[in-house]
Amino acid sequence: MKVEGVGKVMIRKKDGSLCFITGVLYVLGMRSNLLSIGQLLEKGYRMVLEDKAMKVYDTEQRLLVKATLSKNRIFKVELGVLMQQCLATTVDKEEWLWHFRYGHLNFGDLNRMQSKAIVAGLPHIHVSKDVCAECVECKMLRGAFNPNLPRRLKRKLQVIFSYVCGPIQHETPAGNKYFVTFIDEFTRKLWIYLIRRKNDVLGVFKKFKVLVEKQCGQNIKILRTNGGGEYVSTEFNEYCENEGITHEVTPPYTPQHNGVAERKNRTLLNMVKSMLKSKNMPKTWWGEAVNIAAYIINRSPTKKMENVTSEEAWTGVKPNVAHFRVFGSVCYRHVPDQLRTKLDDKGELMIMVGYHSTSGYKLVNPVNTKIVISRDVVFDEGKTWKWSDKGEISIGVEQNLFDVPAGETELNPEGEP
């Protein structure tokens, strides 16, 4: 079962004094509280079993717990729980915060980006030995293969890889079920387009062609696809011929020939699943997640690009990532004076779902699902919005941190967190 957090539980003993039980795991689906004898032994406590009862002594041989054996052969402990302090397991550590901001990118690449100054605005990252539950559950490893076709590394747009992924079972709010990727082989720059149907591929390819050729002053020479029906239509082939584009279609059942696009799609989907799961976002928001994943990938290191990101290889400018925030975080945007009265609130609760080209953030109102763009935003990245089962209307904010009275002694004499 998934552990949502770890923290302290404060209890009142029979003599009226207070103490803490530390290292308590918060598991939402469990209906009973369990106290681990093995963990108590590891912490130096002593257990005595006699007369169908168990006594627990601390390291100073003080009696802490006395419990009798119940009918189902467990020891029931009656505790007066006063309050709980549930801490987010990862957000309070900067390396984990950037792990989430970077769409669950591995710590090795995060550390390499900072040490090699591949991007600006990234602090020093310690490689964590802890396990990210979302990464383990959502990322699958496959065996590597050697490319069968030589790579052509001469200029931008000489070779473009393309692939269509879908249908995704959950439509986006705009009704999209697919996304199509375009990847420049020379820079490994990635572009994403959301589409409703596969026959929309030709239309987005025309838009993509105009965009990239205007940006870099070069023409697309080769387009490599997997031979799906959306790529081999008569209209698509005629357009490529008229534009002087060589359309290379890989043979059936040889995904290695289009391996760049295949691997990129796997990376995208892994990131999307991890980001949605870590913030409990409804799956209908996969479209925003895949866009932000592409934005992150273009500012991440790749094995084929030495100490440079795809964004820098394409634009010649080192990207700054200081504006990165965790996808799905609770935030508050400033409401302009023109949109409120004097007694209205100046801040509005929103959910962060993307970045905007004007240095702003793409935000969604969790109540009416309306999307807005704003530059004046205050983030609370440690909070998660509780969505309803249908994923349309929110029912509250889940707090990750609760205040605990100061000056109390802890149950664990070593003071472990």
Q: Provide the pairing of β-strand 246-249 with 329-334.
A: unpaired
pLDDT at 168: 93
Domain ranges of the chain: 5-87, 94-315, 329-398
Show the tokens assigned to 365.
Answer: 């109102």
With contact defined as beta carbons under 8 Å apart, do 223 and 208 qualify?
A: no
- Please tell me the distance from the alpha carbon of residue 68 to that of residue 66, in angstroms, as a whole number: 7
pLDDT at 85: 45
Per-residue pLDDT of 125-156, as tens digits, reads 877 766 676 776 676 554 444 444 445 557 89
Q: How confident is the model at residue 415 (pLDDT cuts 50, 70, 90)?
A: very low
One-letter amino acid at 264 equals K
Q: How confident is the model at residue 245 (pLDDT cuts 50, 70, 90)?
A: very high
374 forms beta bridges with 361
- Please tell me the distance from the alpha carbon of residue 196 to that of residue 107, in angstroms, as a whole number: 35
- Please tell me the distance from the alpha carbon of residue 187 to that of residue 313, in angstroms, as a whole number: 5
pLDDT at 311: 94
Question: Can you tell me which residue has the tokens 């030495």?
Answer: 306
One-letter amino acid at 285 equals W
Which distant-in-sequence residues (6+ apart) come within 8 Å of 171 by Cβ?
177, 284
CATH code 1.10.357.10 for 94-315: no
- Please tell me the distance from the alpha carbon of residue 260 to that of residue 188, in angstroms, as a whole number: 9
Q: Which of 92, 86, 89 is nearest to 8 (CA)?
A: 86
Q: How many Cα atoms sit within 13 Å of 16 on the Cβ side?
A: 0
- Please tell me the distance from the alpha carbon of residue 103 to that of residue 294, in angstroms, as a whole number: 10
With contact defined as beta carbons under 8 Å apart, do 303 and 256 qualify?
A: no
- Please tell me the distance from the alpha carbon of residue 22 to that of residue 125, in angstroms, as a whole number: 27
Residue 70 has pLDDT above 60, yes or no: yes
pLDDT at 34: 85
